[in-house]
Structure 1
Amino acid sequence: MKKVTIDQFLTWAFTQELCKVGAGNDYGPSIAGSWNMMSAVAELGTLIDRSPNGYGVIPDYMAGGDPHADAVAAGNAVKALAARGGFEIGEGWKPFPEWRDEFGLIQAEVENTVEALRLKPDALSGRHVVNLVVTYAILGRGPDWSVEQPEAQMVSVNGKPLWFVMKSAKDGFGRAYNYEADGFDRKKQRPMRGAYRKYELSAPLRGAILSRLDWQLWQSALEILHADLSGRLSSNSILPFSPDRSPWAAHRAASTMPQAIESA
């Protein structure tokens, strides 16, 4: 029995064995050409000139014989992930624990993104997880979760920081409400009493949030596949697996962000 990790096993199955499915007897592109097409599909999400087989792999017409039974078991286990339904994001999820977020700018963007995902949960579906597993099995690595922390910068227009002030008013029914208004006195050319400045992130975080979500979904999928396949293979023995859902936590570094509101 060959001892392999779950991710090594999946890479072998999807790049060397499952490409035999659907190849038929016709000769086509070389193995290298087939690999290049699979990589293009994985990285670009674009089909070049041939449809993938039932396992999401471009058939290799130079590969002879049938796929190994262990690889077929892997392919079927991956396909079965779609039938498990969607995954969920826990309350208070913090995908950037290594960053300091004294005033909640980062967590606010995380919560907005999570709310949008719950309304349209395509990125949490079983089908998406299947695509993740196949993609990164072919690429031989996991999702890239690395990202630079955005800076907090003053809310500005044309390079000039803005001032804000809270005011109160009444609606048509006489009910009082508060609203935020321009806090700079144009006549006196100075901030109004009680005016403040605000900060925002220098770059959007949605892409980074989704990348870290994909990493955690991928790790959860590997955990499921490890449990499903361990002890059920004829030629491969899968080594113990413990999901690492937050590798970025090991890179925790103290960083100081400017104050989110600066009073006049």
Structure 2
Amino acid sequence: MKKLMDIENLLRWAFVHELPKGRENGGGPGIRSAWDGIYNLGVLGTLVQTDGFSGGGFVEPGEPHRDATLIGEAVRGLEGMEIGGFEDWDAFADVPEMAAHMEGVSARVAARMAAMPAGSRARLPVTLVISAAVTGRGPDWRWPEEPRARMVERAGKPAWFVSRAFTDAFGRRSAIETDGFDAKAGRPQRGAYRKYVVAPDPWLVALARMDWQVWVLSLATLAAELDGCLADWDVVAAQHSPTPWVDGEAASAPRVLEAVK
């Protein structure tokens, strides 16, 4: 009889306890483990070593469970998942009072995703899923501390800025931002404005929130694909909100992952 298990715990069971099997304790070439056959760890190598189960004496002998192999193959298949829908997203709906000071950050993060090399963008869901499985936690979308806006200063005083248009040697028009204070006249230049900076860095928060949404979509994709395909487990989909900063932190409360036996 199959047992119910949520997708996050199944992923942790597969990537922490099953897929590393088959390696020699001494770390030699030995038998290529199912882990290696499923995904080239790349940047996750250090993460895996930190968890203490790769290349050492913590891996149980034997072959990986067949369900773990299927789970790993499904994770590898995430490389074909389309990532999009961020053109008009709002990464900071939880702090509308800060909107004027963070204008354009969400759009720039979305543009960064669109400009990623195709290979890097394709590997992102796989990297996020394996990282969360190994560490036991998903991307941290929260502000590390309450965000605050402060005026940009220069020499201890509020700074002034002006935007000036110019045309380069190739006829391309753009704008540059320069000092907007006329020191000789002792007053701001015509059209000068002041700027604010938000701390903690909203760029990093937006990146983490985009990672969170990609991760939640990846979990849903995996749960649907694996439903009815495993020999010993019935998959329960994750219940995370894709926007917990809007729906409330309870929608993504940290969980203690259960032991899968």
In structure 1, the partner of 2:134 is 138
d(CA) in 1 for partners of 2:131, 2:122: 14
Does structure 1 conserve the Cα–Cα contact (< 8 Å) formed by 2:181 and 2:187? Answer: yes
C-alpha displacement at 1:123, in angstroms?
Answer: 9.2
In structure 2, the partner of 1:108 is 104
Q: 2:231 aligns with which of 234, 251, 261?
A: 234
Give the 3 Å change call, closer, same or farther, for CA 160–138 of structure 1 in structure 2: same
Q: Deviations over 1:143-176 (max 9, x none)?
A: 111113532222221221123468899xxxxxxx
In structure 1, the partner of 2:124 is 128
In structure 1, the partner of 2:26 is 28
Corresponding residue pairs, total: 225
Q: 2:160 aligns with which of 158, 163, 183?
A: 163
Q: Counterparts in 2 of 1:127-206, with a 5 A limit? A: 127-147=123-143, 148-164=145-161, 183-187=180-184, 189-191=186-188, 196-206=193-203
Decide which moves more: 183-192 or 65-74.
183-192
Q: 2:206 aligns with which of 205, 209, 214?
A: 209
Give the 3 Å change call, closer, same or farther, for CA 3–60 of structure 1 in structure 2: farther
Decide which moves more: 230-239 or 112-121.
112-121
Corresponding letter in the other structure for 2:202? L
Q: 1:95 aligns with which of 83, 91, 95?
A: 91
Decide which moves more: 125-134 or 100-109.
100-109
Q: Counterparts in 2 of 1:9-88, with a 5 A limit? A: 9-20=10-21, 22-23=22-23, 26-28=24-26, 45-47=44-46, 58=54, 62-82=59-79, 84-88=80-84
Decide which moves more: 121-130 or 104-113.
121-130
Q: Deviations over 1:85-139 (max 9, x none)?
A: 5411432111221112465332412212222332225697221211111111111
Corresponding letter in the other structure for 2:11? L
C-alpha displacement at 1:184, in angstroms?
Answer: 4.0
d(CA) in 1 for partners of 2:110, 2:202: 12
- Give structure 2 stretches of 5+ with no counterpart: 28-40, 167-173, 250-261
Q: Secondary structure at the match of 2:150?
A: strand
Give the 3 Å change call, closer, same or farther, for CA 141–197 of structure 1 in structure 2: closer
Corresponding letter in the other structure for 2:198? L
- Give structure 1 stretches of 5+ with no counterpart: 30-41, 51-56, 170-176, 253-264
Decide which moves more: 7-16 or 143-152.
143-152
Give the 3 Å change call, closer, same or farther, for CA 76–102 of structure 1 in structure 2: closer
* 1:219 is the counterpart of 2:216: yes
Does structure 1 conserve the Cα–Cα contact (< 8 Å) formed by 2:18 and 2:68? Answer: yes
**Identity over the aligned pairs, expressed in percent?**
34
Q: Deviations over 1:201-257 (max 9, x none)?
A: 3453222111111111111111010011111111111124444211222349xxxxx
d(CA) in 1 for partners of 2:47, 2:8: 26
TM-score normalised over the length of structure 2? 0.70
d(CA) in 2 for partners of 1:142, 1:49: 15
Give the 3 Å change call, closer, same or farther, for CA 220–103 of structure 1 in structure 2: closer
Give the 3 Å change call, closer, same or farther, for CA 95–10 of structure 1 in structure 2: same
TM-score normalised over the length of structure 1? 0.70
Does structure 1 conserve the Cα–Cα contact (< 8 Å) formed by 2:98 and 2:149? Answer: no
Compare CA radii of gyration and give the structure with the larger one: 1
Corresponding letter in the other structure for 1:230? D
